[in-house]
Chain A
């Protein structure tokens, strides 16, 4: 393995706060992408396998997003396991990161995918406005909760790394 791996020589319990947050944000974004795919694509069938992404760019971006979600989930869990193995997980930061990831993905999907790129809409054949508001406000709520948790985690005693 060519990765220059230099974990601490002595397994001291020293939480890595920023890393805990980033790793869990990756997992959060991947989980929300999977929820979107499973609930809306497969169970409800609101927007589907292949939508109006008729242009090559739209198609490839969808494939990229889908593949990235899958890889992020796997890589995220192994990085998480590595943090735990090294006793470097900072739980409060991890929770904040997870919510930030959930919210960021949902807002990105709602604004960039749905509105800017118009890859797909949440639903077809109905007035989409309430769905858009619900999806984006839901994402915003998750994001703000994540921010609040992050602020609280940073204020904890001994938080400075």
Chain B
């Protein structure tokens, strides 16, 4: 394997880019439809989703600086961590449920969001395992070297990185209404576990590249550092989303209780500290 020979994934790059941009267009039109109807939908969510689609498109067809391993890692970070975060922050399922007219389409989406299968896939430990476990398989077996030679496998690997990243982000953030909402404690613990696995893998890549590849040491070092610090950034952002939504939810609960208390309707709960996960 020569370091310079990156596999040509064929039409997969342009197709992914087009899918990202199309998703953004659909999102924007749905949000516009909501606003025409008189519903409020924050503009920052539009911006977030559009940025997600654009960054995915860039990762799919753009060229990033550095050696081949570094370029791969930049692509991987954007497609597997940052684009999913930008998508998830925009609450796409909530938007779809509001924008779709009552009927078969809306019922199908609701059934999917509340289905047992979705419930299992979004169970945080499973989502973390699919995400971090997939990365360990990719970089610590011959899979990475093979995928650089077999175009369809290359496409499949990228699809998995993207889908698993999306699933994990969705499950940790817990913003959209799905079958079950897990406690911040469990989601935080899984963020910690997946983050630790990610950091450990990045450190090990600094010392030894994926089996069957021969990247230059400087390329390997830069790529591993991109993975390490990029992972930190995404993880800190996820932690802010998680802790921020806990903070907002306890604040709302507190306001509700105070209001009920003022009106003399609230049951007096015993004083108890707020716990966080």
Residues in chain A within 8 A of chain B (CB atoms) = 1-11, 16, 19, 49-50, 53-54, 59-60, 62-64, 66-68, 70-71, 74-75, 77-79, 81-82, 85-86
- The number of chain B residues touching the other chain, given as a range, is 35 or more
Residues of chain B within 8 A (CB-CB) of A2 are: 181-184
Q: With A8-B271, A11-B258 as given contacts, are A66 and B199 in contact (CB-CB < 8 Å)?
A: yes
**Contact yes or no, A75 B239, CB < 8 A:** yes
Query: Chain A contacts of B261 at CB under 8 A?
Result: 9-10
CB-defined contacts of A81 to chain B, threshold 8 Å: 247
Report whether B240 and A9 are in contact in the complex, using a CB–CB cutoff of 8 Å. Answer: no
How long is the Cα–Cα vector from A77 to B277 in the complex, in angstroms?
Answer: 14
Please name the 10 residue pairs, one residue from A and one from B, whose CB atoms are nearest each other, closest first: A63-B200, A63-B199, A1-B249, A67-B195, A78-B243, A74-B239, A64-B196, A5-B250, A9-B261, A63-B196
Q: A70 and B239 in contact (CB under 8 A), knowing A50-B206, A64-B192, A78-B247?
A: yes
Q: By DSSP majority rule, is chain B's interface helix, strand, loop, or mixed?
A: helix
Beta-carbon contact of B254 and A59 below 8 Å: no
19 CB < 8 A contacts A-B: A3-B274, A5-B274, A6-B253, A9-B261, A49-B225, A50-B204, A50-B207, A63-B196, A63-B199, A63-B201, A64-B200, A66-B196, A66-B232, A74-B243, A75-B239, A77-B243, A78-B243, A78-B244, A82-B250
C-alpha gap A78/B272 in the complex (Å): 18
* Shortest CB distance B274–A (Å): 5
B interface list, Cβ under 8 A from A: 181-185, 188, 191-192, 195-201, 203-204, 206-207, 224-225, 228, 232, 235-236, 239-240, 243-247, 249-251, 253-254, 257-258, 260-261, 266, 268-277
**Chain B residues within an 8 Å CB radius of A67:** 192, 195-196, 198-199, 235
Q: Flag if B239 contacts A63 (CB, 8 Å).
A: no
The complex places the Cα of A128 from the Cα of B59 at a distance, in Å, of 45
CB pair A70 B277 closer than 8 Å = no
Known: A1-B246, A7-B254, A7-B257. A82 touches B274 (CB 8 A): yes
Chain B residues with CB under 8 Å of A77's CB are: 243
Contacts A1-B184, A7-B257, A63-B199 given; indicate if A16 touches B192 (C-beta within 8 A): no
Task: Please give the distance in Å from B186's CB to the nearest CB on chain A.
Answer: 9
Bound complex: CA of A133 vs CA of B272, how far in Å?
43
Docked pose: A42 CA to B259 CA in angstroms: 50
Highest count of chain B CB atoms <10 Å: which of A4, A6, A19: A6
A16–B273 contact, CB under 8 A?
A: yes
